[in-house]
Amino acid sequence: MTGTVTHDPPPGTAGQQGRPLIVTEDAQLLDDLLRLCAAAGATPEVHHGLPERRGSWEAAPLVLVGDDAARRVRGAARRRGVVLVGRDQDDPGIWRRAVEIGADHVLVLPDGEQWLVDRIADVAEGVGRPAVTVGVIGGRGGAGASTLACALAVTSAREGLRTLLVDADPLGGGLDVLLGGETAEGLRWPAFAASRGRVGGGALEESLPELHSLRVLSWDRGDCVAIPPQAVRAVLAAARRRGGAVVVDLPRRVDEGVAEALAQLDVGLLVVPAELRAVAAAARVASAVGMVLRDLRVVVRGPFAPGLDEREVARLLGLPLVGEVPLESGLRRPGEGRTPPGAAARGPLARFCTAFWERTLIEAGAA
């Protein structure tokens, strides 16, 4: 059981790492709290009462007060980020004691363990502004979505943003191949298939191949072609908590795993060649994707069929227009043994991606 008295985060902790403070003399409760801290990757500071060291109480990003210690901290300075932890589900007095010490949450173990692990892990990771997360999906096969996704990620990394490129299309051949890093060391999607609950953002980032100053989560050459939706949710949530930018290359079908990815996007880009058949196919994709993703926009790729331009394609699809993707050889025929899409900073594709990120980061309030 968990309960909220107030729900404001402790001041000054966004984006900062710190050690949670535990105050208790209950040996069994302390063992449980230490176990939960270990599960969250945090090393706490432990005291039986108010810390003697000046500022410890005020500076800790999270304070876990055992119900046995509530009386001993009653005179402490009021602050946010205090959790009163107890064991008795039937003790109504815990709410009164929470108010007396200014706690903003009441938690009763063992029911509230997962909530507490998540909260401690936020402190350990230094959670701040979540990553701006962009999904790219082709309106039809061969539209160039994977190459555009790579170009967006390469451009983001070149601009100095922490960047993660996620390959959510198991049948797409692998974005690590497109980036020339199929032999790079690091984990691929099958390693995360059993993930449940919370995945550590820092551990995820460090485990993935690093290519062109960005991290890449792609597929191996094995038989695995599906990841459980719970694992997709856990991995993308971890990636978003690290901040910066996350780019997701999506398949055109929408299954449960893809729906989990769509639910975490800030904006989706539908790449549509300027052909009538491509527009018709893209309309079906947009209908399926739009059931989950609210902000779907269209990116048009030439050459243009007679009577079509980028505005007409957007009008036919009923979607906001981002613009026309510049024609570059890599967008249409990704090859091996060359620089990745968007790597030429002065090339038209890189300029398109730079302008997109400038607008999107301003919209997200991250610029």
Lowest mean pLDDT among 161-175, 188-202, 203-217, 313-327: 188-202
Does 210 score more than 50 pLDDT?
A: yes
Lowest mean pLDDT among 3-7, 188-192, 238-242, 247-251: 3-7
Lowest mean pLDDT among 28-42, 89-103, 309-323, 330-344: 330-344
pLDDT in tens, 62-96: 999 999 999 999 989 999 899 999 988 888 899 99
Same CATH topology for 21-125 and 132-366: the answer is yes
Q: Which run of H or E residues covers position 299?
A: strand 296-301
Quick one: pLDDT band at residue 7, thresholds 50, 70, 90?
very low
- The tokens of 305 are what? 């069929």
Q: What is the three-class DSSP state of 338?
A: coil
Question: pLDDT > 90: what percent of the chain?
Answer: 58
How far is residue 206's CA from residue 58's CA, in Å, rounded to a whole number? 32
- Our CA dihedral for 76, 81, 84, 87, rounded to 10 degrees, sits at -150
Higher pLDDT, 337 or 255: 255
Does 318 score more than 60 pLDDT?
A: yes
Nearest to 359 by CA among 323, 312, 313: 323
- Our CA dihedral for 97, 101, 104, 110, rounded to 10 degrees, sits at -50
Average pLDDT, the chain: 87
| The predicted structure's pLDDT at residue 334 | 44
Q: Tell me the CATH number for domain 132-366.
A: 3.40.50.300
Query: Taking the mean position of all CA atoms in its chain, how far away is CA 169?
Result: 18
The answer to whether the beta carbons of residues 63 and 140 sit under 8 Å apart is no
How far is residue 8's CA from residue 245's CA, in Å, rounded to a whole number? 26
Sign of the torsion angle spanned by Cα atoms 107, 110, 111, 114: positive
| The predicted structure's pLDDT at residue 13 | 42
How far is residue 319's CA from residue 322's CA, in Å, rounded to a whole number? 9
Q: Which residues, in sequence order, are bridge partners of residue 154?
A: none
Does 195 score more than 90 pLDDT?
A: no
Quickly name the fold that domain 21-125 has: Rossmann fold (3.40.50)
* Residue boundaries of the structural domains of the chain: 21-125, 132-366
- The tokens of 43 are what? 């090393």
Does 330 score more than 60 pLDDT?
A: no
Lowest mean pLDDT among 3-17, 149-163, 217-231: 3-17
Does 11 score more than 60 pLDDT?
A: no
Lowest mean pLDDT among 85-89, 246-250, 317-321, 361-365: 361-365
How far is residue 56's CA from residue 171's CA, in Å, rounded to a whole number? 52
To the nearest 10 degrees (0 to 180), the angle between helices 113-125 and 27-40 is 50
| The predicted structure's pLDDT at residue 5 | 46
Quick one: pLDDT band at residue 173, thresholds 50, 70, 90?
confident
pLDDT in tens, 109-148: 988 898 898 888 878 776 668 899 999 999 999 999 999 9
| The predicted structure's pLDDT at residue 33 | 96
Q: 77 to each of 44, 51, 241, 259, 322, how far by Cα in Å?
A: 20, 12, 30, 45, 51
The answer to whether the beta carbons of residues 205 and 170 sit under 8 Å apart is no
Q: Give the sheet arrangement for strand 105-108, strand by strand.
A: 2-4, 105-108, 82-86, 63-66, 21-23, 45-47
